[in-house]
Structure 1
Amino acid sequence: MPAKCPGLRVIRIRERDAQEEVPRGLGVKEEAYGRTSGVYPFNDHVFYAVNPRSDQMQTPLTVTKLDPDQTRNALKQGSNPNPIEIVTAFLQPGDDHWAWATYTQALRRAALHTDIASTLPLPLHLPSLADEYLI
């Protein structure tokens, strides 16, 4: 089939939603604090992509911004890395699935006006904002 559609590639993106089909975190042991980001293979065609921590979450692991007098539930920091599932559904012969998944993840940080990563890759993120600009 790829021979009939030269140049066509289909990448499917799935966000974490109420069905919780995309995991919230990957590879972090409970007893150790972990901060991970990047692209993680699930199999040859399915990858999970986790954004880096935001600029607001750059404090050391042992520091808390909460009231030191109320330490009952202030033992761990938390952030929402917004993982997505990337499925390389249709590629051309010779294409590297890992490379296309990594490229898709890189598009989440491709906006020129900000360093903040979006949940979706930029070509999907921008159309999702169109209703904010239409009257």
Structure 2
Amino acid sequence: MISFAGMARAGTASLLLIATVLALSPAFADDGFPFGSEMTLDVDRQRGSKRIPNLEIGDKGEVILELWCKGGKGQFSVAGNTVIFVPGAMENRTCPSDRAQQDDELIAALAEAGTWKRQGDFVSFVGAKTLRFRINTN
């Protein structure tokens, strides 16, 4: 005869195993986080500049940032629709102070984002300010 407590333990163990596998498996689905991709900020070019900020995201969440003026590294951690971005040291390049300020604001907005969502080739990081990036598919 099977006891209720035994069934409950088996069910709990099964749920924990499934949750662990899902948490440890990388998100490679088409609607998942775009690990291993390059993305460009969905904005127009600034007057006098050919650059548009972009992120190159590695398979483990490591990021290379090329902004309007600055460049550097960072790290994304993703669990479901929750995202954490930790910026690393940024290289200060010679540029106008307004562009450097926009770079700082962009980095701060990425760091403040708490969730993300993907709609086709677009990924949005949502916090106090929403940042929308296009996944480069070329």
Given the two structures, how large is their TM-score scaled by the length of structure 2? 0.27
Given the two structures, how large is their TM-score scaled by the length of structure 1? 0.27
More helix by share: 2
- Structure showing greater radius of gyration is 2
